């Protein structure tokens, strides 16, 4: 059952990399960041499973490696995929954490940012439940702004971290978070959050 956490206060614990106010669903699809690599980039994604359908447990099951590949024809192509993200923002605004931000989640794949390859090594991945055709919800924008604000407040290496889309670090290979994502709205929300901090 999904809870509505849009009014919850999010606080990142810098010792554990876990977000207070997020539902914890820690998965095994993760590993250690390479030596001397710390989170310094935030990557936004979009995901729906099956494509174009929202709700259900499929996304969480995918990240935990327990997706029933016989449940839908599309799932068969994911049979050998081992992926995860640090966070998922559901349509109703629930924030779910799968990997500590001190560890490496497997969300970016082959990627590069400002000449640095392998973005998984130094990024935090946030999935938004969505697709290429559907507008994201007000609660998702509120929650992703709150999550980014908490990440920046909680870890010094993320304080000025750029926020980019998967399509920015894997152009031509990935489309998300897609044309329906309102980057100006995100920027305005983050600016308001920064003003409250001053």
pLDDT of res. 196: 74
| Domain edges within the chain | 11-197
pLDDT of res. 6: 39
pLDDT of res. 56: 95
C-alpha neighbours within 13 Å on the C-beta side of residue 42: 21
- What's the rounded Cα separation, in Å, for the pair 33 and 101? 10
**Which one of the listed residues 127, 129, 135, 195 is annotated catalytic?**
127
pLDDT tens for the chain, 198 residues: list them.
344 333 459 999 999 999 999 999 999 999 999 999 999 999 999 999 999 999 999 999 999 999 999 999 999 999 999 999 999 999 999 999 999 999 999 999 999 999 999 999 999 999 999 999 999 999 999 999 999 999 999 999 999 999 999 999 999 999 999 999 999 999 999 998 877 766
**Residue 195 in 3-state DSSP?**
helix
Nearest to 58 by CA among 148, 137, 127, 140: 127
- What's the rounded Cα separation, in Å, for the pair 144 and 159? 16
DSSP 113-175: ETTEE-GGGGEEEEEEE--SSSPPPHHHHHHHHHHHHHHHHH-GGGTT--EEEHHHHSTTT--
Domain 11-197 CATH superfamily: Peptidoglycan recognition protein-like (3.40.80.10)
Q: How far is CA 120 from CA 13, 35, 183, in A?
A: 20, 13, 22
* pLDDT tens sequence across 99-111: 999 999 999 999 9
Query: Residues 109-133, buried b or exposed e (16+ Cβ, 10 A)?
Result: eebebeeeebbbbbbbbbbbbbbee
pLDDT of res. 194: 78
Counting every residue written for the chain, the total comes to 198
pLDDT of res. 158: 97
Q: Annotated catalytic, 135?
A: no
- What's the rounded Cα separation, in Å, for the pair 170 and 144? 21
**Residue 110 in 3-state DSSP?**
coil
Q: What is the pTM of this model?
A: 0.94
């Amino acid at each position: 059952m999904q809870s509505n956490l849009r009014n919850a206060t999010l606080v990142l614990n810098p010792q554990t990399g876990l977000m207070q106010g997020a539902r914890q669903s820690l998965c095994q699809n993760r590993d250690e960041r390479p030596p001397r690599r710390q989170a310094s980039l935030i990557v936004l994604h979009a995901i729906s499973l099956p494509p174009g359908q929202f709700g259900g447990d499929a996304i969480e099951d995918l990240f935990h490696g327990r997706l029933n590949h016989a449940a839908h024809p599309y799932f068969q192509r994911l049979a050998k995929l081992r992926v995860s993200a640090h966070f998922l923002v559901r349509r109703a605004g629930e924030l779910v954490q799968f990997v500590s931000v001190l560890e490496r989640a497997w969300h970016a794949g082959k990627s590069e940012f400002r000449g640095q390859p392998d973005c998984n090594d130094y990024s935090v991945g946030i999935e938004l439940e969505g697709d290429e055709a559907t507008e994201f919800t007000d609660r998702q924008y509120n929650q992703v702004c709150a999550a980014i604000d908490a990440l920046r407040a909680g870890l010094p290496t993320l304080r000025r971290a750029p926020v980019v889309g998967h399509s920015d670090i894997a152009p031509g290979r990935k489309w998300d978070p897609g044309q329906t994502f309102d980057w100006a709205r995100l920027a305005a929300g983050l600016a308001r959050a920064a003003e409250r901090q001053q």
